[in-house]
A and B are shown apart, each in its own frame.
Chain A
Amino acid sequence: MPEVKKADDDGVQIDLISGERMENMTSMEKIRMILDGVHEGNIVILEEGLSPDEESRLIEVTMTEISPDEFNGIEIETYPQSGSTDSGLLNRLMGKDETKKLTVIGPANQIETLHKDETLISALVSRK
């Protein structure tokens, strides 16, 4: 493992996690990795996102970790999927993975979404 340089106080660390790195992780390992990063004030970008079930568990675990004056929760952004039910179900029946979508996650008090549509996420990231 190469030495990891830590962000200094003036910067915001961005972790871009490849789909390959997530491939063999369990749901809880993924959630833990995301929340550990966010707790440290990092912006976590997932190349392939989370499954709906993992998103549901991420919300649940995030809620248990919110603490007044310390951690307000997360901001999470993915592209909205349009008209997805029919093709989504068919794709799932055919074993095609529909969950692969770029996902940006950060501390709620540091990231603000400026604009989102089906092809663009524009966010403002601030220091702590």
Chain B
Amino acid sequence: MGLITDIRDSISSLFSAQDPKRIGIYGPPNAGKTTLANRIARDWTGDAIGPESHIPHETRRARRKENVEIERNGKSVTIDVVDTPGVTTKVDYTEFLEHDMEKDDAVRRSREATEGVAEAMHWLREDVDGVLYVLDSTEDPFTQVNTMLVGIIESQDLPVLILANKTDLEDSNVRRIENAFPQHETLPLSALEGDNMDEVYDKIAEYFG
């Protein structure tokens, strides 16, 4: 672990005293990424980033909130928060029809969703300095998208915090996520209710400051 810490510290020092680091919020669709992005943006800037919805692929463009200054323990950390579309390997427009959407709207939404996922992958390879990986803690974390994305993040040596979201729901199971990704630190939270956000901000400052 010492080697990892040393390398992370070396990488961190490369960025110190430079521009704000871009922290990408990644995860599968409907994990609560935009709810978290809005929670962070509202807590520290007063503004939201984008609309939240229970319909998958509400976020179809990466959205950036710049210069979010987070104050922790007398110090401040400035980051750019990048809310990204949920990553998937398939998009079927007929699933949107189940949400009372007309076919034209469903097709348009699916087309925009595919562009958004491609954009999110591009950001991950080229344009982010760290990742908040958000998972719905009521869902099984052993999915191919999670396996691949965490693997991609690790291959880029990006610092990553795993966030087990939706702890306000009865079926939430944080331990399952901890077991799925034992090599990373997992923090429980409810972005919707604002539960455990203090610890999340402490860790953001520690990982990305």
A and B: interacting chains = yes
Task: Spell out A's residues near B (CB within 8 Å).
Answer: 51-53, 55-57, 59-60, 62-64, 66, 68, 72-78, 80-86, 88-90, 108-109, 113, 116-117
Residues of A within 8 A of B4 (CB): 85-86, 89
- Complex contact B155–A73 (CB within 8 A): no
Complex: A86 Cα to B47 Cα, angstroms: 39
- Assuming A60-B118, A81-B147, A85-B183, is B89 touching A75 (CB within 8 A)? yes
- Complex contact A84–B89 (CB within 8 A): no
Residues of A within 8 A of B148 (CB): 52, 55-56, 59, 76, 78
CB distance from A13 to the nearest CB of B (A): 20
Most buried by A among B1, B4, B117, B144: B144
Residues of A within 8 A of B184 (CB): 85
Q: Which B-chain residue is minimally distant from A64 (CB atoms)? A: B118
Of B1, B92, B115, the contact of A108 (CB 8 Å cutoff): B92
CB distance from B5 to the nearest CB of A (A): 11
- Can you list 11 A-B pairs, Cβ within 8 angstroms, ordered by A? A52-B156, A53-B152, A55-B151, A66-B114, A68-B111, A72-B90, A72-B91, A72-B92, A73-B90, A75-B90, A76-B144
A-B pairs under 8 A by CB, number: 103
Residues of B within 8 A of A116 (CB): 142, 144
- Complex contact A51–B155 (CB within 8 A): yes
- Assuming A59-B148, A108-B90, is B110 touching A80 (CB within 8 A)? no
Complex: A80 Cα to B144 Cα, angstroms: 8
- Counting chain B residues whose Cβ lies within 8 A of the other chain, the interface size class is 35 or more
- Complex contact A56–B124 (CB within 8 A): yes
Q: Which A-chain residue is minimally distant from B146 (CB atoms)? A: A80
CB distance from A49 to the nearest CB of B (A): 10
Residues of A within 8 A of B155 (CB): 51-53
Most buried by A among B90, B115, B147, B157: B90
Residues of B within 8 A of A73 (CB): 88-92, 114
- Complex contact A66–B110 (CB within 8 A): yes
- Assuming A55-B148, A68-B110, is B7 touching A63 (CB within 8 A)? no
Known: A77-B144, A89-B154. 12 other contacts (CB 8 A): A52-B148, A55-B148, A59-B121, A60-B117, A60-B121, A60-B122, A63-B115, A63-B117, A63-B118, A66-B91, A66-B111, A73-B89
Task: Spell out B's residues near A (CB within 8 Å).
Answer: 1, 3-4, 7, 87-93, 107, 110-111, 114-115, 117-118, 121-122, 124-125, 142, 144, 147-148, 151-152, 154-157, 180, 182-184
Residues of A within 8 A of B147 (CB): 78, 80-81
CB distance from B1 to the nearest CB of A (A): 7
Complex: A52 Cα to B154 Cα, angstroms: 9
Complex: A32 Cα to B18 Cα, angstroms: 39
CB distance from B153 to the nearest CB of A (A): 8
- Complex contact B142–A117 (CB within 8 A): yes
Residues of B within 8 A of A109 (CB): 92
Residues of A within 8 A of B107 (CB): 68
- Assuming A60-B122, A68-B110, A77-B144, is B154 touching A85 (CB within 8 A)? yes
